[in-house]
Amino acid sequence: MLSHITTPIFYPNAKPHIGHVYSSLLADLIHRHALLSSPKPHSNKPLTHLFTTGLDEHGLKIQQAAIKNNFSTPKKFVDSLAVEFKKMDKLCDINYTRFIRTTDQDHVENVYKLWSLVFQNGYIYKNTHEGWYSVSDETFYPESKIIKQPDGSYKNTETNTSVIPSNESNYFFKLSSFQSQLIELYEKTAQNMIYPPKYRDFILHELKSQPLKDLSISRPVERLVWGIDVPNDPTQKIYVWFDALCNYISSIGSINNVLENTPNIVSSHSFSADPTHQIIIPSPAETWQNTTHIVGKDIIRFHTIYWPAFLMAAGIPLPKQVIVHGHWLSEGTKMSKSKGNVVDPIDCIEKFGIDTLRWYLLQNSNLKNDNDFILKNLMDFKKISFVGKWGNLIHRCCSPKFSIHDAVLKFTTSNKTIQEDFQSIFSSPVDSESNIQNASQFKELYQTIIKDLETLPSDMKVMIETLETAKLLNKFWSIIDNLNQFIQLTTPWKLKSPEDLQKRNLIIYFVIDSMRILSILSQPIIPNLAGMFLDRLDVVKERRSWEFAAYKKDIDYAVDANLKNRPPTIQME
Ligand X SMILES: Nc1ncnc2c1ncn2[C@@H]1O[C@H](COP(=O)(O)OP(=O)(O)OP(=O)(O)O)[C@@H](O)[C@H]1O
Residue numbers at the binding site for ligand X (CB under 6 A):
8, 10-11, 13, 19-20, 22-23, 295-296, 298-299, 327-328, 334-338
Considering the complex, state which of residue 92 and residue 456 has its C-beta at the smaller distance from ligand X. 92
SS (H, E, C) 448-488: HHHHHHHHHHHHHHHHHHCCCHHHHHHHHHHHHHHHHHHHH
Query: Element (H or E) spanning 253, and its range?
Result: none
Entry field: residues in the chain: 573
Beta carbon of residue 343, minimum distance to ligand X (angstroms, whole number) = 9
Beta carbon of residue 35, minimum distance to ligand X (angstroms, whole number) = 22
Strand order of the β-sheet with 371-372 is 333-334, 328-330, 371-372
* Beta-strand pair 3-10/49-55: parallel
Q: Say how far apart CA 395 and CA 549 lie, in whole Å.
A: 20
Considering the complex, state which of residue 81 and residue 518 has its C-beta at the smaller distance from ligand X. 81
Considering the complex, state which of residue 327 and residue 475 has its C-beta at the smaller distance from ligand X. 327
Position of minimal CB gap to ligand X: 19
Considering the complex, state which of residue 140 and residue 373 has its C-beta at the smaller distance from ligand X. 373
Beta carbon of residue 62, minimum distance to ligand X (angstroms, whole number) = 10
Q: Say how far apart CA 24 and CA 448 lie, in whole Å.
A: 34
Beta carbon of residue 342, minimum distance to ligand X (angstroms, whole number) = 7
Beta carbon of residue 68, minimum distance to ligand X (angstroms, whole number) = 13
Considering the complex, state which of residue 22 and residue 381 has its C-beta at the smaller distance from ligand X. 22
Beta carbon of residue 3, minimum distance to ligand X (angstroms, whole number) = 20
211-214, long-range: CB within 8 Å, 24+ apart, which pairs?
A: 211/176, 211/179, 212/175, 212/176, 212/178, 212/179, 212/182, 212/305, 213/175, 213/176, 214/172, 214/173, 214/174, 214/175, 214/176
Beta carbon of residue 536, minimum distance to ligand X (angstroms, whole number) = 34
Considering the complex, state which of residue 96 and residue 402 has its C-beta at the smaller distance from ligand X. 96
Considering the complex, state which of residue 22 and residue 288 has its C-beta at the smaller distance from ligand X. 22
Considering the complex, state which of residue 329 and residue 501 has its C-beta at the smaller distance from ligand X. 329
Give the chain's count of helices (H) and strands (E): 23, 20
User: Taken in order 140, 175, 170, 259, is the CA torsion positive or negative?
Assistant: positive
Beta carbon of residue 254, minimum distance to ligand X (angstroms, whole number) = 25
Beta carbon of residue 321, minimum distance to ligand X (angstroms, whole number) = 15
Considering the complex, state which of residue 335 and residue 473 has its C-beta at the smaller distance from ligand X. 335
Burial degree of 190 (CB within 10 A; 0-12, 13-18, 19+): middle
